[in-house]
Chain A
Amino acid sequence: MTASPVGRLSIRVFALGYLALLLAIPIGVVLYRTFEPGVGAVIDSITTPAAVSAFWLTIEIAAIAVPLNTIFGIVAALVLVRTRIRGKWLLQAVIDLPFAISPVVIGLALFLLFGRTGWLGPTLTDWGIQVIFSVPGMVLATIFVCLPFVVREVAPVLREIGDEQEQAAATLGASRWQTFRRITLPAIRWGVAYGVVLSTARAIGEFGAVSVVSGKISGETVTLPLLVENRYSNFDLSGAYAASALLAVIALATLLAMTVLQRKGDSR
């Protein structure tokens, strides 16, 4: 690039040093403690019925929450960057807000809405719909905590690339959808990709808010993070670490999938 070798090296040292200190060492410790009892023990730990059901539940919730959030994120980013409505600053702030709410409060808010004496709870129960203490409530809580990610990833990219190409396409007669699919989407794909990666990581790893609204019903509403907490409470630390390792694997797999898809897009 344009940086001198010294400059590049010092940035690299700073970045990697920071990462090593803050990230690598803790992750290293987690890995070490996970595999301390041996790989066999870890495999046993993650193939118990409880772990398997927690795994699928975690995937299920993420598989619903993340795509929905991605669509919302892309639309919201388009609205924020490409339209001329007023009050955008408020919109962006409101989108960021759910994130600043501590998980316990999210649980409280959802109780207030969907609980036994909540605003919507009794009505929904009458209609036979169970939101809280079952999967829909957990999906809601997950979407809540992942809300800003895709928007925040895509909007800056949209701003960066400018809309010249989109304008050109429009003048050449392309429909809105064609422009979006052929020009905008490919241009923002890395933003979307990292937004999805972040959302997925948070969705699978979320503990607090999901914990409060899940009811923690063994085998039914226990996700992997809840299982980790459960094992920790039962003094099964190595089991807790093993389940965490599983989460790390899912996060890595997501990143891998995203990267592979991006490169495929590159070569097309």
Chain B
Amino acid sequence: MKTKILLSALVAGALAVAGCGGASDDSSDSSASSGSSSSGGTKTSLSLVAYSTPEVVYDEIIPDFQKTPEGKGVSFKTSYGASGEQSRAVAAGQKADYVAFSLAPDVDKLVEPGLVPKDWVAQTEAAGGKGGFVTTSLVSFVVRKGNPKGIKGWDDLLKPGVKVVTPNPFTSGAAKWNIMGAYQHGGIGYVKKLITDHVPVQPKSGREALQTFTGGEGDVLISYEYEYTTAVKKGEKDIELVTPDDTFLIQNPIAATSSSPQQAKDFVKFVLSDAAQQHFADWGYRPINEAILAKNKDKFPDPGSVKTVDDFGGWSKINDELFDPEKGSVAKIEDEAGVSTAK
């Protein structure tokens, strides 16, 4: 007994010491290594904090950046997770030099505590990212292979018996995009019918919504175009993409934080440059870089009408009117929908 306790304490001590050395290699799981710093030179380390889906893209972009003169000798510490969670982490003190989130409010939240410069949009725009964004995408439908229910547009979702899977906008800020897609089609009346009669479950996030859908639940999944492309590229089968005629534009922001070194701003510029934007296009994101977008036109069909956040007064108005957890109309719909399904 005593030996056991002694032993474990020893092991703990030894490992603690060893662990402090830690893993020198901070590569993520793809073949690319986000590299340790190269020989000599000024050693800068950039902390990249992003939402989860573009991890595969950054795994390709970072090594490319490290080959450029601005990127030589720059090592990266990367962190990926749900957009809202990452934003909260940075607000709580997580070191970040470059942030890339799913929607602009997650960056805006960092302005007030002074972590991101007030003019971040202008800064990103100056580097080539119109509106402060690095990529865009469309709210689309994912259906089972063969599209057995013949889903073509938003109205088809209201056909009797059609079950729609979409993540809950209150557990996943990014899921608000999906609701906005519905909202731009038929206003709050449509959203109400959709949620009340056709949305049986409320997955926590986009990824879990896809899991629920591929797990056999529902006929249609409301998703982002790039999520579909990435999933398929990573081996997901038996699903198809349907782009409705009218939909909503998803816009993903990036910014260099207030205390970040020059290399972070260089990185922003690089991410918006042709080479990096092509990587985004390869994984299904619509590049903000217009030249690259044009080059990849065949990958990205043009729907008839695409609305944006600006068409509805901007995020603060949308969040107040629709998504306020107490007074927002979507919250009210959820409350009332719950009553009808409650025992």
Contacts and interface: CB of A to CB of B under 8 A. Distances in A.
Q: Verify whether A and B have any Cβ pair under 8 Å.
A: yes
B231 interface: yes
Given A185-B1, A215-B89, A234 B52 contact: yes
Interface string A222-264: 0000010011111110010000000000000000000001000
Contacts of B23: 49, 52-53, 56-57, 219-220
Contacts, number: 134
B145 interface: no
Nearest to A229: B81
B26 A234 contact: no
B92 A115 contact: yes
B236 interface: yes
Given A132-B93, A234-B56, A235-B230, A218 B27 contact: yes
A73 to B, nearest CB: 12
Contact of A50 (B29, B85, B93): B29
A31 interface: no
A217 B79 contact: yes
B25 A235 contact: no
A192 interface: yes
B8 interface: yes
A67 interface: yes
Contacts of B230: 235
Given A49-B23, A215-B94, A235-B234, A181 B15 contact: no
A26 interface: no
A62 to B, nearest CB: 9
B16 interface: yes
Given A66-B8, A67-B12, A216-B81, A133 B93 contact: yes
Contacts of B55: 230, 233-234
A127 B231 CA distance: 45
A234 B234 contact: yes
Contacts of A212: 85, 89
Contact of B4 (A115, A215, A236, A261): A261
Given A59-B15, A135-B19, A219 B231 contact: no
Query: Which DSSP category, helix, strand, loop or mixed, fits chain A's interface?
Result: helix
Contacts of B77: 217-220
Contacts of B28: 50, 218-219, 230
B109 interface: no
Contacts of A111: 88, 92
Given A63-B11, A235-B235, A261-B4, A220 B29 contact: no
A121 interface: yes
B80 A216 contact: yes
Contact of A49 (B9, B16, B25): B25
Given A63-B16, A111-B92, A189-B1, A50 B27 contact: yes
B63 to A, nearest CB: 14
B69 interface: no
Interface string A123-145: 00100000011010000000000
Nearest to B115: A116
Interface string B75-104: 001111100010011011111000000000
A34 interface: no
Contacts of B94: 132-133, 215
Contact of A215 (B12, B15, B79, B231): B79
Pick from A48, A192, A235 the residue with the most CB of B within 10 Å: A235
Contacts of A57: 19, 22-23
A66 B8 CA distance: 9
B182 to A, nearest CB: 25
B76 to A, nearest CB: 9
Nearest to A265: B1
B33 interface: yes
Contacts of A52: 23
Contacts of A217: 26, 47, 77-79
B113 interface: yes
B91 to A, nearest CB: 7
Given A116-B113, A215-B79, A218-B27, A49 B33 contact: yes
Given A49-B33, A185-B1, A212-B85, A219 B25 contact: yes
Given A70-B5, A212-B85, A215-B89, A63 B26 contact: no
A186 interface: yes
Given A56-B23, A60-B19, A133-B93, A232 B34 contact: no
A149 to B, nearest CB: 15
Contacts of B25: 49, 53, 219
B269 interface: no
28 contacts: A49-B33, A53-B23, A56-B18, A60-B15, A63-B12, A64-B12, A67-B9, A67-B12, A70-B8, A116-B91, A117-B113, A125-B93, A189-B1, A192-B1, A212-B85, A215-B89, A218-B26, A218-B27, A218-B28, A218-B34, A218-B77, A218-B80, A219-B24, A220-B22, A220-B77, A231-B29, A235-B230, A235-B236
Interface of B: 1-2, 4-5, 8-9, 11-12, 15-16, 18-19, 22-29, 33-34, 47, 52-53, 55-56, 77-81, 85, 88-89, 91-95, 113, 207, 230-231, 234-236
Interface of A: 48-53, 56-57, 59-60, 63-64, 66-67, 70-71, 111, 115-118, 121, 125, 132-133, 135, 181, 185-186, 189, 192, 211-212, 215-220, 227, 230-236, 239, 261, 265
Across the A-B interface, the 9 shortest Cβ-Cβ residue pairs: A53-B23, A219-B26, A116-B93, A235-B234, A115-B92, A60-B19, A63-B12, A49-B25, A233-B52
